[in-house]
Amino acid sequence: MSTLFPYLGFALLPLAAASGWWFARKGGVQATDQRCSTLSTDYFRGLNYLINEEQDLAIDLFSKLLDEDPSMVETHLALGTLFRRQGDTSQAIHLHSNLIKSENLNDEQRSLALLELGRDYMKAGLLDRAEQPFLDLIDLGFYKSDAYEWLVMIYQQEKEWDRAIDMLDRQQKKDGNSAATIAQFLCEKAEIARSGGDLNEAFHLVEQALKRDPLAVRATMIRAEILALREENGAAIEEYKKIEQQNASYIPNIIHPLLKLYRQDGDQEEIIRYLTNLLKKHPSTTVLLAAVEQVQLMSGDRKAELFLVNQLKSKPSVRGLERLIELNLRHAEDDRAREGLYGLQMLTKQLQEEKPEYQCSHCGFQAHHLHWQCPGCNNWNTIKPIVGVSGE
């Protein structure tokens, strides 16, 4: 027996009461109105069929009642929506599909039934079947905004990026969110082209993305990576540097590939100047540790340790402390001191593992890695580094 139906009788009580009021109001005080009495009796008989899991009988009866009195369409829709919310999508689909077939509906009523049917299919995970009701809505001219949003959702889940972009363009929304989302879709296409070895097409797509959204950090990252693959190091460095103006919170995500390019060019002094400048304007532990590594390469462990200690005095962090312990372990001679340092090192590692570094500004989803689309709410561009976690 379906787990829905032991509770369905209680769930339908408000609907039944409302229906009884509706029928009484429609009949007024004319108790002899046979038609109203028959409809009311049949309607409650239909509810009884549902409670007893005789769904086919119930739907046939409701369809007959709808043919006799088209004004019952709202009640019919409400019943289908109730099924969907209770998790019985097959019954919701059946009810809404039968409703759409009725010849007594006007365009607005048919559109509302199509919208509910599309939602039923989405809830059931039948994306291919959900598409057509939403396309029909656009043709009818009702609930177009809802239809476009659902279609964008369908196409991005199916990775049909061109169709998703087309739907966003047809919405004719001129807000920044739409432009930023389209830029992400273009970046998805660019990633596909790059993985297929077509760097020219990938570069062209990120150019389009940046035209849509000049602040698209992901597009700039991809463009820099392509330039690096082409061994155009100077141009790649300049691309990475642009991210400081686009959104400085993403600097920790590009600092390592940027330094790799700098070091290939061999300008060690320029690296330390750049990192020191970043630390002043956009302090973060990732930048600090990169600067410590550079000082260590240029001047040795002792200089790096002193530099790190001075920085931690003004901005302490767990990752910074772990790096300081590592530097001290290099020249700790006493066994007891080394044992204590190892214990502290393990503790700092555990503290870092327990804390996520990124969080969605929309739903609060937390992650240890950067996601361009939030796995929690599926919104784009909402995952950001958590300020204060590990010193970022």
Point out the annotated binding site for Fe cation: 360, 363, 374, 377
- Residue entry with tokens 């998703």: 164
pLDDT attached to residue 42? 65
In three-state secondary structure terms, 313 is helix
pLDDT of residue 292: 93
Residue from 260, 290, 293, 268 nearest 278 by CA? 290
Residue numbers of the chain with a pLDDT score lower than 70 = 1-44, 46-47, 49-51, 53, 55-56, 58-72, 173-176, 332-333, 335-338, 340-342, 351-354, 387-392
pLDDT for res 231: 94
b/e sequence 99-117, b meaning 16+ C-beta within 10 Å: bbebeebeeebbbbbbbbb
| 381: nearest Cα among 181, 246, 187, 244 | 181
Cα–Cα dist 97/100, whole Å: 5
Please write the tens of the pLDDT for every residue from 304-354: 999 999 998 888 888 888 888 787 777 766 766 667 666 777 777 776 666
pLDDT for 131: 96
3-state DSSP: the chain helix, strand, coil percent, rounded to 5? 75, 5, 20
Relative to beta strand 366-367, strand 383-385 is unpaired
| Greatest extent of the chain over all pairs of C-alpha atoms, in Å | 104
**Residues tagged in the binding site annotation:** 360, 363, 374, 377
- Residue 380: left (phi > 0), alpha (psi -120 to 50), or beta? beta
**Which pLDDT score, from 0 to 100, does residue 351 have?**
66
Look at residue 175 in the predicted model and tell me its pLDDT. Answer: 61
